[in-house]
Structure 1
Amino acid sequence: MKASVLVLVCCLLMPVAAEAVPFWGAKQSSPADTQPAALKPGEWIWGGDSKAMGPMAVLVSLTEQRAYVYRNGVLVAVSTVSTGKPGHETPTGVFTILQKDKDHHSSKYNNAAMPYQERLTWDGVALHAGGLPGYPESHGCVHLPSEFARRLFDSTNMGMVVVIARSGEAPERLVHPTAISPISATTGADDEAAPLPAGEAFRWQPEKAPEGVVSLLMSTADRRIFVYRNGVEIGRARIEFGAAGPPQGTHAYLVAAGGQPGRMPPWLRIGIPGHEEEARQPVSPQDVARVIAPGAFVAQVLPLLSPGVVLLQTDAHVLPETTGVKTQVLNADPPTL
């Protein structure tokens, strides 16, 4: 009898094993060339990220059931999501991250696990890992794939802007975003830049962001190159391509060390999902010369091309007059040199 009592006491004193937290969604990124519209529920693309690249912002399209992540004005990740079901609709508007809790459990819904929670409102709306059936089924939160939620949690800062948009309530450029951010990373406001007028080769406005990290985006479909500093567009130009034609697909490039003042610096390719074999490959001078930009524009950009600056290439349209709902995600993760 005493032995039985002793066993019972020992069992009562043993720690209760924590309930296993579910894992939702794909474990690895889809290739960077994947069209976001082709992502299946739970799938995502994470091209890479570095906080050194500049301010981050997130745009959630309730209509598309997708989240778009921008760093320094350029798309670096996209994911399928599941938002609020009827009666528990996810609110639209501009929010900021109020609180972060990696191992959060709900105080409202039976202690349900909400890993990598990033709170948007004090009454319970947040980004976090959760179920992804392919349609809105949450109680108002934005459910993300577990691995995507982990990476996003590690990349964000308190106070970061999150915009949630729905068709009929927001401009379509926010509902169906492209590879260039349609929102301000600091205020979340609709931040559409005017197109280049007919006959204008380029625009250069460095005073819009006098300092900060620089990134570039090139759309071979629209024949445009964009320059961002601290999340703000400071220039864009029309471009053409040499006899070899434009490069194809989604690729990323990094300015390498060893450049000379006033001359085009050396570039390295960045390995992104689906193109991992390109990591650290040098870009030949012939490939660099394929891109033809106005000389006066190049003269303005060259002093900004310090080692570590990233250029992101897409063959998708990004201009409002040419875009539909399709886009491509680009990478922003510098390789280890």
Structure 2
Amino acid sequence: MKTARLLLASAALVTLSACQLPVSLVRQEVIRKPLLVQPADSSNSPLYVWHGAGQPGPVRVTIDLSQQRAYIFRNQENVGWSYVATGRSGYSTPTGTFRISEKIANKRSNKYGTIVDANGNTVRSNATAGVHRIPAGGRFVGAKMPYWMRLTSNGVGMHAGNIPHPGSPASHGCIRMPYNLVSQLYTIAPVGTPVSIVP
């Protein structure tokens, strides 16, 4: 009886072994988990999705003004999307095809910012250089535009910035992106990277 059981167990083991594929035929799947960051005013919708770290190939970006979203592609594969804040009423973001022509990691605006007095106290936020008066001893302080990537000669570009209401325009014409996402894009998108802005 013991021998019969042993033979039966051996037969089952041989059968199971015969069902396995050779290691050379097994395809290895790599699962990339996207990094999700929630917008401040929503518990359901992510502010961006990014799974492009380590992905090889050329980069291109499409900005969709109607959706207020950016779509990032690498080697023709979509590696992420993000809500953006583009030009609000009176400060339109241009449409067309552009290329990144300049990159500055720690840029400040030379047009929009705040005015401070001689003691460094803000006397006017949301100021425009050359339009709003600077008090004696005061100065204009340009708004921070981290990870600046210029698209036009007249100062429109992509950079890190506040997205107060995801899905709605809010900027002076630039394309604001979440800080953590645009820092990734800045790393992988060289000067010359194509950027399409569609209505």
Report what 1:39 is aligned to: 45
Mapped contact 1:68–1:78 kept (Cα < 8 A):
yes
Q: Equivalent residues in 2 for 1:188-337 (5 A)?
A: none
Answer yes or no: is 1:29 the counterpart of 2:62: no
Q: Provide Cα deviations, 1:16-55, integer angstroms capped at 9, x if missing partner.
A: xxxxxxxxxxxx9218xxxxxx735xx111112336x211
How many corresponding residue pairs?
A: 130
Q: Distance in 2 between matches of 1:54 and 1:66?
A: 22
Q: Distance in 2 between matches of 1:72 and 1:78?
A: 15
Identical residues among aligned pairs (%): 39
Report what 1:124 is aligned to: 155
**From 85, 89, 97, the counterpart of 2:88:** 85
Q: Equivalent residues in 2 for 1:131-150 (5 A)?
A: 131-134=162-165, 135-150=168-183
Q: Distance in 2 between matches of 1:50 and 1:157?
A: 15
Report what 2:54 is aligned to: 50
Mapped contact 2:107–2:145 kept (Cα < 8 A):
yes
**How far did 1:97 drift?**
0.2
Asked which structure has the greater CA Rg, the reply is 2
Q: Taking structure 1 as the reference length, what is the TM-score of the superposition? A: 0.37
**How far did 1:59 drift?**
0.3
Aligned partner letter, 1:67: A
Mapped contact 2:100–2:192 kept (Cα < 8 A):
yes
**How far did 1:133 drift?**
1.6
Q: Provide Cα deviations, 1:78-113, integer angstroms capped at 9, x if missing partner.
A: 101000001101000000000000000001113100
Report what 2:63 is aligned to: 60
> Structure 2: 5+ residue runs without aligned partners?
1-33, 38-43, 114-141
> Structure 1: 5+ residue runs without aligned partners?
1-27, 32-37, 167-337
Answer yes or no: is 1:99 the counterpart of 2:102: yes
Mapped contact 2:52–2:74 kept (Cα < 8 A):
no
**How far did 1:149 drift?**
0.9
Q: Distance in 1 between matches of 2:54 and 2:98?
A: 22
SS at match of 2:176: strand
Q: Taking structure 2 as the reference length, what is the TM-score of the superposition? A: 0.62
Report what 2:189 is aligned to: 156
Mapped contact 1:39–1:80 kept (Cα < 8 A):
no
SS at match of 1:133: coil
